[in-house]
Structure 1
Amino acid sequence: MYHERINRATNRNITLSLVANPSHLEAVNPVVQGKTKAEQFYRGDSEGKKIMSILVHGDAAFAGQGVVYETFHLSDLPSYTTNGTVHIVVNNQIGFTTDPRMARSSPYPTDVARVVNAPIFHVNSDDPEAVIYVCSVAAEWRNTFNKDVVVDLVCYRRRGHNEMDEPMFTQPLMYKQIHRQVPVLKKYADKLIAQGIVTLQEFEEEIAKYDRICEEAYGRSKDKKILDIKHWLDSPWPGFFNMDGEPKSMTCPATGIPEDMLTHIGTVASSVPLEGFRIHPGLSRILRGRADMTKKQMVDWALAEYMAFGSLLKEGIHVRLSGQDVERGTFSHRHHVLHDQDVDRRTCVPMNHLWPDQAPYTVCNSSLSEYGVLGFELGYAMASPNALVLWEAQFGDFHNTAQCIIDQFISTGQAKWVRHNGIVLLLPHGMEGMGPEHSSARPERFLQMSNDDSDAYPAFTEDFEVSQLYDCNWIVVNCSTPASYFHVLRRQILLPFRKPLIIFTPKSLLRHPDAKSSFDQMVSGTSFQRVIPEDGPAVRAPEQISPFPFDLIKQEAEKYQGAELVWCQEEHKNMGYYDYISPRFMTILSRARPIWYVGRDPAAAPATGNRNTHLVSLKKFLDTAFNLQAFEGQTF
């Protein structure tokens, strides 16, 4: 939620924004930092003097959860710093039922903050004046040095976990001591009364006044019949939705752009805008290749991405691409940041030289982190709907260590937090003999968490395509052409709402001579194809996997009434897309025709580590796919 109030020291409004926090300890940390960074960016607050973040932690989680360390290590990186965060650790000296002696290997829970040399203040929470003093010093430190600072509130839980647990089961001696403690409110009141600062009557009147405020608010809550969702958003996105919180339309304009714009972007993408800037000879060959493609009005994957980003920048859309090695690209295909071969730290980003009044493009290599960085980018995408925010995994399956962010914020974001979010995940995927750790982006996981119903026969209304996207929890695609990649990136912004977009991106296809698209497939009037119909033999190439394109699959299947229907995938049968698409094919075809499966057998690991075994299995299922007679009569 967010709330505006008057800052009595400056007599100016201050906005307090509270980010939704799942019960996955400390997962919200990088999300807050990303949102803070975005707010600073949009307000031109490069020094963090207008916007800052405060993170409230638990002691056991602060010491135990690795995302705390990952977030601290973002604190001073150029594209991730928020110019200092105040960390408040509520130190109950116990984690649920576990003693610190069993929970950490350092004396203090806050020792992890020493990794960035943050000052750490340990303060007795039974002394409110000391707490206020320490917090003032912490605020002054952050404001002066723009660095992180930690306040360790050394306290205790009076009634155990959630104020409902029985702590005597596991910490009997500790809780005998706690039960003998005078509550902090009484302790402080007795001190003020003894010093003559307040009277007993004044103290009792203040307590009664506070109780009345709580009781009246509780009473009003019972009378409230309508929940105003906008009060529960940490960023309201003014002007994006209607007054009732719904999209302003249910249409998506064509995503193509004029041919001269494609040519211009291709020309800049193949040039070095700065004079006297010497690039690597190998990069010169790459730029000449881009220029040649532009001349022939063709694009590969990297140039299609350039076209999508560049066109959005012209329209005032800020683009931010983040992740491990994204500036060059894991597969040396992108090269969005050029490095002078003679001058250290002299770089050039041609994307920021496309148009005179374009939006800024941020492309930034991240720390070697998935959990923290994906959370950061998710938070960044929360701040505004008018930005394309992308996180790219070095290899697709590296999202494994960021699964908590995916499960708690991205998949469930709208259902659980009532929040739209347009973050894009780029996950390199493909069974190409690179071993079990560098092959599968685990599409089955994303599809299993998609909320469209495999058994529900949809009503094909006029706005079916957009309505289906609006009803889903996220969009999952595996583009087979650069043009499709171009369109789906632009559609992500042109849609009248925001949904997370999961893209399984290629590896070897980045340079495959046949994996190219022409300008004709990207010019004005063209748009993203959820299914690419075959012009020749009856073979389908699904593009948008989820939500499932029921309408187009039905049309294609009806064209070829006498044909065998085959789902061929390179992933193992218990992985990939088969379990997702099979029941949906059955629904749309009313179970009148069988669906044949051709692919690798079920397995535990996503890919073999042996190159020869990979090639043998590849040949086997391709032979099967193109020689169905040998498998007639089998049920799949």
Structure 2
Amino acid sequence: MAAQEQQQSADGQGNCSGRCAHLQLRSCRTFCQRQHRLLRGGDVQRLASGSHFRAHLLGRVLPQQQLRKPLNQIFTQFAGLEAADDGSGDVKYHLGTYIERLNRVTNKNIRLAVVANPSHLEAVDPVVQGKTRAEQFYRGDQEGKKVMSILIHGDAAFCGQGVVYETMHLSDLPDYTTHGTIHVVANNQIGFTTDPRFSRSSPYCTDVARVVNAPIFHVNADDPEAVMHVCKVAAEWRATFHKDCVIDLVGYRRNGHNEIDEPMFTQPLMYQKIRKHKNCLDLYADKLIAEGTVTAEEVKSVAAKYENICEEAFALAKTETHVKYKDWLDSPWSGFFEGKDPLKVAPTGVKEETLIHIGNRFSSPPPNAAEFVIHKGLLRVLAARKAMVDEKVADWALGEAMAFGSLLKEGIHVRLSGQDVERGTFSHRHHVLHHQLVDKATYNSLQHMYPDQAPYSVSNSSLSEYAVLGFEHGYSMTNPNALVLWEAQFGDFSNTAQSIIDQFISSGQSKWVRQSGLVMLLPHGMEGIGPEHSSCRVERFLQMSSDDPDYFPPESDEFGVRQLHDINWIVANCSTPANYYHILRRQIALPFRKPLILCTPKSLLRHPEAKSPFGEMSEGSEFQRIIPDNGPAGQNPSNVKKVVFCSGRVYYDLTKTRREKQLEGEIAIVRVEQISPFPFDLVKEQANLYKNAELVWAQEEHKNQGSWTYVQPRFLTALNHSRDVSYVGRACGASTATGSKAQHIRELNALLNDAIST
């Protein structure tokens, strides 16, 4: 799986064909004997991650056309050494790689990368496509002439994994196309023991590619010259038409699924034939010798020459004392980490004049308003925005626009992607205005903030979560100086992208030293609109957070940023536009990159109290991990009988009930805005402020969901087990929410009455 500069044109495709031909026929004797047994049993990803393939017998393809990870670094992975880098690492055939080399045919440098990938076979497909698209974007490659992608698939996975179909359908979408991908299918019974007659309903495993009318080339992997010819045709097709094409390499596995497998258990007739069948190397060598192209001695000489190369690399590998995961980065961020204080965060507040300028532009109709007819309802939206700017106060949409606009002013590329993101699922964003009389005529004010601003891309995606989230993750890996966001239509829809979340976003840095600043915007909150439109399943993200519930880190001035440095990702549920604004800008202000999981509201988008004055976003302001009670309770903490800790939109329900019961002086409400990493220091500070008060955690989610199971042990650690914290909220439930409005209101009232009582 590689994204590479297409400077080698059709010649470079020879590398692809050799790799895949050998993939089918794994008994090539030119491998180093010590590694042959392991390598021949590897899966697609293992072979794609840097091994040298010799199906191009006799060196007919120039060495610089091969993706050459230094052999000694490959062999070091087999030695079982300790790692010199932080992280858990991964099995060797999941690792990516990156190399820059000279193509002596064109005399140009080529950058080649293999993206690190998990055993979820096809999950890496959209990640590669997103990375490729980003590489094209940063190079101004609008036609895909400098950068291209090659995806290597297994036959069973190609037709069986839905993400293949989802990724295919991105191929021609304007904001997702990579201008043609070459798909190579290793059709060699890679589905382990399941007979193809029981694993697919179509005649060919490649029939899924017919949905985009991609040409499909079926070729016998026992015929290297036919494979070479097909690969050259595929390269020319892609270079000419900039469309996807598929190479179906029909072969077999000589040793079953791996080197210790016994395929005769399940495919006895097939493997009786395979064991009598000569391997590809012998067949091709015999053919060349018979036609007089080479002699038997020349064949032996080439094999011996490569054997010597492997032996020298193997000897060099023995001198290594540690494996280095950083050697396997698929896209190094050159210069990003150098010269920075790893615990210093740049300011996130900006000048008030900047906020006013962005607000005025964002609330203005197109410059040619007399000719550009927009919907009358949007005129009211723009007028309401202008009124807020005049009052120097921001709602959720305006706060977001100010975060984006200020980053664009600073030269930071912003890309927002997902279903209905241009308008916003809840009709709150309206970044793209549509001419009511002219098709495809649009205006995006955030693209016209400043004459020298960075580009802003907001893209309605296909109705896909798995592929599109993978695509945006790949995009975010390419350049750290960009804010890349994916928004779910509803938060719980992210569950269909769980493989990307589990395999890449949560654990990517630990496994592959691969940082990403991707932001996931997940609408969340119980509004009485049913189980599939309520919860973003925040408990799942919190469960995968890597901070220790029993460890209170040493308190210091850098407590908050050190936590961010050490965590695998950030999970937050903001309750104000200002905090949302700051946490988005903080993604770029940090001296490193971490994924950000943001629970975003629905009802708060227009809630009259969910607004922030410009002063909370201007210079000197910053993100608040906890927002304390600033009312009567906070001013007289000794009078407080109960402290209610909460997160997100439920805060506004709690304050309303407290006001109605006239308990503002007796009950304090403290908002935990950043849930993970947990703000131990600030929780301790708030608890100490209210020494005589009962402490409770209130949430609108069910007890077995939401943040409770995550925060409870951390509260106890923060308080040194000297005080307890109790739970207020819904009882345990199998579903995330009720579909009955009456039941929802009854549950909510019980929660509020429980929380706001003394």
Shorter chain as denominator, the TM-score bin is over 0.9
The aligned counterpart of 1:31 is 127
Secondary structure class of the residue paired with 1:162: coil
Match of 1:219 among 307, 315, 337: 315
CA distance in 2, matches of 1:303, 1:384: 26
Secondary structure class of the residue paired with 2:579: helix
Q: How much does 1:337 deviate?
A: 0.5
Does the 8 A contact of 1:273 with 1:353 survive in 2? Answer: no
The aligned counterpart of 1:375 is 470
In percent, how many aligned pairs have the same letter? 66
CA distance in 2, matches of 1:232, 1:300: 44
The aligned counterpart of 2:114 is 18
Structure 2 counterparts to residues 465-484 of structure 1, below 5 A: 465-484=560-579
Deviating runs (4+, > 3 A) in structure 1? Answer: 226-230
The aligned counterpart of 2:540 is 445
Does the 8 A contact of 2:531 with 2:737 survive in 1? Answer: yes
Q: How much does 1:248 deviate?
A: 3.9
Does the 8 A contact of 1:266 with 1:294 survive in 2? Answer: yes
Match of 1:620 among 750, 753, 756: 750
CA distance in 2, matches of 1:94, 1:119: 22
The aligned counterpart of 1:351 is 446
Secondary structure class of the residue paired with 1:163: coil
Per-residue CA distance 1:504-534 (angstroms, 9 max, x = gap): 0000110000000000100101100000011
Q: Which amino acid aligns with 2:155?
A: D
The aligned counterpart of 2:239 is 143
The aligned counterpart of 2:431 is 336
Q: Which amino acid aligns with 1:252?
A: V
Q: Which amino acid aligns with 2:710?
A: Y
CA distance in 1, matches of 2:360, 2:454: 19
Per-residue CA distance 1:217-274 (angstroms, 9 max, x = gap): 122112123544443111111110138xxx5431112211100000000001111233
The aligned counterpart of 1:513 is 608
Per-residue CA distance 1:297-318 (angstroms, 9 max, x = gap): 0000000000000000000000
Per-residue CA distance 1:541-577 (angstroms, 9 max, x = gap): 1100000001111111101101110100000000000
Does the 8 A contact of 1:91 with 1:155 survive in 2? Answer: yes
Stretch deviating more after TM superposition (112-121 or 273-282) = 273-282
CA distance in 1, matches of 2:197, 2:612: 61
Structure 2 counterparts to residues 427-438 of structure 1, below 5 A: 427-438=522-533
CA distance in 2, matches of 1:24, 1:285: 48
The aligned counterpart of 2:221 is 125
Per-residue CA distance 1:51-79 (angstroms, 9 max, x = gap): 00000000000010000000000000000
The aligned counterpart of 1:176 is 272
Q: Which amino acid aligns with 2:346?
A: P
With normalisation by structure 1, the TM-score equals: 0.97
CA distance in 2, matches of 1:580, 1:230: 32
Match of 2:738 among 603, 608, 620: 608
* Count of aligned pairs: 625
Does the 8 A contact of 2:326 with 2:513 survive in 1? Answer: no
CA distance in 1, matches of 2:393, 2:199: 58
CA distance in 1, matches of 2:229, 2:603: 59
Match of 1:260 among 343, 353, 359: 353
CA RMSD of aligned residues (A): 1.0
Q: Which amino acid aligns with 1:352?
A: Q
Q: Does 1:192 align with 2:276?
A: no
CA distance in 1, matches of 2:273, 2:423: 59
Stretch deviating more after TM superposition (117-126 or 264-273) = 264-273
CA distance in 2, matches of 1:444, 1:106: 40
Secondary structure class of the residue paired with 1:5: strand
CA distance in 2, matches of 1:176, 1:227: 41
Per-residue CA distance 1:309-349 (angstroms, 9 max, x = gap): 00000000000000000000000000000100011110111
Q: How much does 1:453 deviate?
A: 0.5
Stretch deviating more after TM superposition (2-11 or 190-199) = 2-11
Structure 2 unmatched runs, 5+: 1-96, 634-667
CA distance in 1, matches of 2:471, 2:315: 39
The aligned counterpart of 1:88 is 184
CA distance in 1, matches of 2:691, 2:722: 11
Secondary structure class of the residue paired with 2:723: coil
CA distance in 1, matches of 2:190, 2:572: 45
The aligned counterpart of 2:691 is 561
CA distance in 2, matches of 1:513, 1:162: 62
Q: 1:182 to 1:121 in 2, by over 3 A?
A: same
Q: Which amino acid aligns with 2:740?
A: N
The aligned counterpart of 1:547 is 677
Q: Which amino acid aligns with 2:714?
A: R
CA distance in 1, matches of 2:274, 2:104: 37
CA distance in 1, matches of 2:278, 2:421: 56
Q: Does 1:533 align with 2:628?
A: yes
CA distance in 2, matches of 1:463, 1:216: 48
CA distance in 2, matches of 1:564, 1:350: 49
The aligned counterpart of 1:631 is none
Q: Does 1:64 align with 2:164?
A: no
The aligned counterpart of 1:313 is 408
Per-residue CA distance 1:428-469 (angstroms, 9 max, x = gap): 000110100000000000000000000012211221111110
Secondary structure class of the residue paired with 1:576: coil
Stretch deviating more after TM superposition (69-78 or 267-276) = 267-276
Structure 2 counterparts to residues 39-50 of structure 1, below 5 A: 39-50=135-146
The aligned counterpart of 2:593 is 498
Q: Which amino acid aligns with 2:350?
A: I
Secondary structure class of the residue paired with 1:90: strand
Does the 8 A contact of 2:491 with 2:536 survive in 1? Answer: yes
Does the 8 A contact of 2:417 with 2:472 survive in 1? Answer: yes
Q: 1:38 to 1:625 in 2, by over 3 A?
A: same
The aligned counterpart of 2:708 is 578
Stretch deviating more after TM superposition (264-273 or 47-56) = 264-273
Secondary structure class of the residue paired with 1:165: coil
Q: Which amino acid aligns with 2:472?
A: E
The aligned counterpart of 1:4 is 100
The aligned counterpart of 1:589 is 719
Structure 2 counterparts to residues 379-394 of structure 1, below 5 A: 379-394=474-489
The aligned counterpart of 2:344 is 251
Does the 8 A contact of 1:118 with 1:147 survive in 2? Answer: yes
Q: How much does 1:211 deviate?
A: 1.3
Q: Which amino acid aligns with 1:262?
A: L
Q: Which amino acid aligns with 2:753?
A: D
Does the 8 A contact of 1:478 with 1:504 survive in 2? Answer: yes
Q: How much does 1:91 deviate?
A: 0.4
Does the 8 A contact of 2:405 with 2:449 survive in 1? Answer: yes
Q: Which amino acid aligns with 2:381?
A: I
Q: Which amino acid aligns with 2:532?
A: E
Secondary structure class of the residue paired with 1:52: strand
Secondary structure class of the residue paired with 2:696: strand
Q: Which amino acid aligns with 1:143?
A: A
Q: Which amino acid aligns with 2:192?
A: F
CA distance in 2, matches of 1:397, 1:218: 49
Stretch deviating more after TM superposition (78-87 or 535-544) = 535-544
Q: Does 1:112 align with 2:112?
A: no
Per-residue CA distance 1:458-498 (angstroms, 9 max, x = gap): 21122111111000000000000000000000000010000
